[in-house]
Structure 1
Amino acid sequence: MNPLKRLREDTERRELAGLRRRLRPRSADHDGLIDLASNDYLGLSRDPRLIEGAVRAVREYGTGSTGSRLVTGTTRLHAELDERLAAFCGAAAGLAFSSGYLANLGAVATLSGPGTLVISDQVNHASIVDACRLSRARVQIAPHRDTAAVERALRDRPEEHALVVTDAVFSVDGDLAPLAELHRLAREHGALLVIDEAHALGVVGEYGRGAAWASGLAGEPDVVLTLTLSKSLASQGGAVLGAPEVIETLIDTGRTMIFDTGLNPAALGAALAALDVIESSPELPARARSNARAIVKIAESHGLESSVPDAAVVPVFLGEARAALRGAEICAEQGLKVGCFRPPSVPEGRACLRITARASLNEVELTGLDQGLGAVAQAVAP
């Protein structure tokens, strides 16, 4: 039997269902389209200060970190970023990884394991889902934002140890997890709370310090934060923040830290420069959130279903996968680049355009979005 025949047949089935994915290389200016799809929430990816930070780091350290963080891959820039990220988010200590995905894999898998219960929100990011699968712990999926279900799972568990794992801001719906209540439950039942700040850092809380900070959880010893540098910080990489015991455990036993090459100098330099910009520009997070609210109003004015944004992510629900594909095509025809999310990234019947609000969006771009979503509503609205 030809093993590639099965792959071709599976690809054909995905094509018929509107579920094919394709890589589409873009130009530096997003092919002339208004960028409403990227995670560049603060509009810093082309900021000269970040570019200079990246270039300066490359000139000093070269293009690669040259090894894992335990061998030659920890530079003074790594140590500085570890400390600054922790200080910015109010944590005791930090550890940078080469991606946010690996930060989640490392945190959840290392802090759980056999004899541990991991409770994960139903719509957590794929990196958390995969971390749970790799953890070798018993995993219980809680309905979205259902704190009563989390409480029952914690109360009734036979395991001594437990982790509650959640996105801070969920990556498609853009809503905020009930972090204060989850922390109360975790502490009451002797569990760690792991919060993925990927879509909250730089957008939520004072100076964009994140959802844990905004919820009064910064620095709590039983709270572990994971984050990415590739969104509001306009760089690449990830980090885990928490108590010294957490970071020491990751350094000693975290496989995604021990066996992975350290973050490259350019990403470190850009991320450090981004922190400088954010700390000196406290208006940026509020501007991103304001633009997100404006996008929701535009969508609703055309009769399109959306949700109240807690950060910079705005979904526009169109139903079936093909409707979302057509909606994204219409937006491109109108000069707009938007995200198109289909199963398995979202449940069946909840395919959507995922629109992201940059702090740097202007009135001309919002007017263009108004026209584009109007055309979508006329053509494919459910």
Structure 2
Amino acid sequence: MFFDDLAEQLSIREQQGLKRYRSILDSPQSRYVDIDGNEYLSFGSNDYLGLSNHPVLVQSACQGARHYGVGAGASHLLYGHSAAHHELEKALAQFTGFSRTLLFSNGYMANIGVVTALVGRHDVVFADKLNHASLNDAAILSRARLIRYPHLDLTALEQHLKKTNARRKLVITDAVFSMDGDAAPIPNLAALCERYNAMLLLDDAHGFGVLGKEGRGILFTENSMPTHGCNVLHSPHIVYMATLGKAAGVSGAFVAASSEIIETLIQTAKSYIYTTAGPPLLSHVLLHSLTLIEHENWRREHLFRLVNRLKHELRKTSWRLLPSNTPIQPVFIGSTREVLRIGQELKAQKILVPAIRPPTVPINTARLRISLSALHQEADIIRLADTLRSLA
């Protein structure tokens, strides 16, 4: 019975066009990738700055492996916390302007660690309806009451905050929404949290390294300047999470916050305490990655020129680009079967663009998720746009 149920569910997924398949990558991430033995122009990675195969980082990985080996061998609290981990945490704190940071193995574990450590059974979590799955799962695991508000609807959020008398209140949101490319209104969110004595967890997985001055993230963008008397960057109500496997080009995640929050996570965040620390060699590499992010502004400048060129080119198609000022440029299709067809047609033309469908996005909102990198050239954008026009 158990296996019959599983087989039936898998069959239904396949019939609905929702079954996922893994492709085998046999090359570094770059403009062109080798997938299943074929070369494709790729718009499918989150390597926004093109750092994942940067020669400086490859060389630093070799150096780190020689010095630290390839594994941490223990959890951070049981002698697995290396000098490389410690130096990276200090560098990330300085880079983001927070008192302290804490490394996690990945963003999923970071979000689960933060939410479950800060709230519990008698508390309330407020979540944007389009949040990443890790934030949703974190809220459920915390056993706090979960209230989901309509996407970016701060009026609805404020109404919920007004009615809540919980001891602890936590608002959780993506900073940049990974399937839409739009950004949360950080100053207004921070002001609400100040007003109603709530904490604010920002998941800046897709903004760190790309947005803000020197790639320092969404808190350093013009739209995040202090408003309504709320100094966003220095607000004690903000807990900032960012991943290190996207724009930073390596792996892992970190949480930045006040010293009290970070110490609380060290003492009580189970996804930090009860897991082996990430390989120290990766922290060694990330120290060099941070330097490249900070000093090579040309990568972001080129990247956003490409974003603007793509927007210009796709105005000439019948499909609608969702509003986004980030390297995530979703083309709204709607139908699951249609987006799969277009994705296959693009692949036949040796172009990779992920076809995103439910449950990753709501029903009838399937889209192509075009992801741009600083490694792309204008000719790549024109080729993609010409191909999409022919398919439309």
Instruction: Give the structure-1-normalised TM-score.
Output: 0.96
Partner Cα separation in structure 2 for residue 341 and residue 67 of structure 1: 37
Correspondent of 1:332 among 347, 362, 368? 347
The 5 A counterparts of 1:36-185 are: 36-185=43-192
How big is the shift at 1:220?
2.1
The answer to whether structure 1 residue 198 and structure 2 residue 219 are counterparts is no
Partner Cα separation in structure 2 for residue 293 and residue 70 of structure 1: 46
Cα deviation digits, residues 164-194 of structure 1 (max 9, x gap): 1110000011001011000000000101111
The 5 A counterparts of 1:1-382 are: 1=1, 3-28=2-27, 29-31=32-34, 32-214=39-221, 215-216=224-225, 217-377=232-392
Match of 2:229 in 1: none
Contact 2:313 2:382 in 1 (8 A): no
For 2:202, the aligned partner's letter is I
For 1:97, the aligned partner's letter is F
Partner Cα separation in structure 2 for residue 59 and residue 142 of structure 1: 49
For 1:30, the aligned partner's letter is V
How big is the shift at 1:352?
0.7
Q: Which moved more, 1:279-288 or 1:354-363?
A: 279-288
Partner Cα separation in structure 2 for residue 195 and residue 83 of structure 1: 20
How big is the shift at 1:360?
2.0
For 2:13, the aligned partner's letter is R
Match of 1:380 in 2: none
For 1:36, the aligned partner's letter is F
For 1:271, the aligned partner's letter is L
Percent of counterpart pairs with the same letter?
36
Cα deviation digits, residues 196-220 of structure 1 (max 9, x gap): 0100001111111111222132232
Partner Cα separation in structure 2 for residue 376 and residue 127 of structure 1: 35
Q: Structure 1 stretches of 5 or more lacking a match?
A: 378-382
For 2:242, the aligned partner's letter is L
What secondary structure sits across from 2:344 in the alignment? helix
What secondary structure sits across from 1:314 in the alignment? strand
Partner Cα separation in structure 1 for residue 13 and residue 306 of structure 2: 35
Contact 1:98 1:262 in 2 (8 A): yes
Alignment root-mean-square deviation, CA: 1.2
Partner Cα separation in structure 2 for residue 9 and residue 56 of structure 1: 50
Partner Cα separation in structure 2 for residue 376 and residue 26 of structure 1: 26
Contact 2:204 2:242 in 1 (8 A): yes
How big is the shift at 1:295?
2.0
Contact 1:288 1:311 in 2 (8 A): no
Q: Structure 2 stretches of 5 or more lacking a match?
A: 226-231
How big is the shift at 1:325?
1.0
Contact 1:164 1:194 in 2 (8 A): yes
Contact 2:322 2:332 in 1 (8 A): no
Contact 2:126 2:171 in 1 (8 A): yes
Q: Which moved more, 1:11-20 or 1:279-288?
A: 279-288
Runs of 4+ in 1 over 6 A off after TM superposition: none
What secondary structure sits across from 1:71 in the alignment? helix
How big is the shift at 1:277?
0.6
Cα deviation digits, residues 82-137 of structure 1 (max 9, x gap): 11112111111100001111111111111111221110000000110110111111
Q: Which moved more, 1:60-69 or 1:274-283?
A: 274-283
What secondary structure sits across from 2:367 in the alignment? strand
